Chain A
Amino acid sequence: MATLKTNTLTGTSTAGSIAVTGEGNSTTTNLQQGLTKAWVNLNGTGTPAINDSFNISGLTDDATGSFTVSFTNDMSNSSYSAAHAGGQRTVTWGIYLGGSGGANATGSHSFHNVSPSDSSVDSAFNCLQFCGDLA
């Protein structure tokens, strides 16, 4: 098996673009586009705290059920993809998470937790995944 050992990957034609052959052994995909650019697992109850994260520099408690996470390296535009999941300890229903009502920001992302009964809730589980273009 050939193993390439390197600390850094850079495209030759375009520094930020490397093609990788896909699982079907013919079609190619883009390595950089396929990478998650940021992710976070945080606890929104009590004093909100980040359990673990990547490319996240901070967490702000905006109001009950509302939070903002800041990126270490910003996204290049506001059209990035943000996926969420949330939940609460000891209850058997999930909590829906949605955008804050405004457009995504390149340096941060605000979101809001709403329970199935449509009330704002600080949930114990908040996981977010961001895909898109870094600045």
Chain B
Amino acid sequence: MSTLRTNALEGVDAKNSITIVAGAGNITTTNVQEGLAKAWSNYAGSGTSLRDSFNHTSATDNGTADYTLTLTNNMGNVNYSYTSSSTDGGGGRSATFSPKDFDNYTTSSMRGVNNDTGNTTEDTECVSSTFNGDLA
């Protein structure tokens, strides 16, 4: 096995673009930067304390089931992909944390609402979120 040691990766032709062989057949390529999640978090819906996260400065509790995730390094535009899931350990019901409003979908934060399968907004025990897209 050969090991390459480096602290940082950068494209030559374009700093922000590195191609990587990633197909099961060892032929198809994809793009490293496009494929990297730009932020993720795991937090408690009650009190919104971040248990662990990447590229997030905070999770703010705006009210019951209403949270704002703030990014450390902003996204390049508001067209990023945001996915999440949440679980209520006590009730055993799953829920979805979804964008609350266009106007709260910004390059620096995403405000959403947590709604369970019983059509009830609630603070679930664990909310997980992932951001994909272009960094600023």
Contact = CB atoms under 8 A, between A and B. Distances in A.
A41 B79 contact: yes
Nearest to B54: A23
A93 B119 contact: yes
Contact of B133 (A3, A6, A14, A39): A39
Contacts of B36: 35-36
Interface size class of A (residues with CB under 8 A): 35 or more
B28 A54 contact: no
Contacts of B21: 8-11, 15-16, 32
B10 A3 contact: yes
A124 B78 CA distance: 13
A76 B26 CA distance: 11
Nearest to A30: B22
Interface in B1-55: 1-2, 4-13, 17-32, 34-37
A16 B23 contact: yes
Given A8-B18, A86-B98, A125-B99, A3 B81 contact: no
A125 B98 contact: yes
A4 to B, nearest CB: 4
Interface of A: 1-16, 18, 31-32, 35-37, 39-41, 51-55, 73, 76-77, 83-87, 89-90, 92-97, 116-117, 124-125, 127-129, 133-135
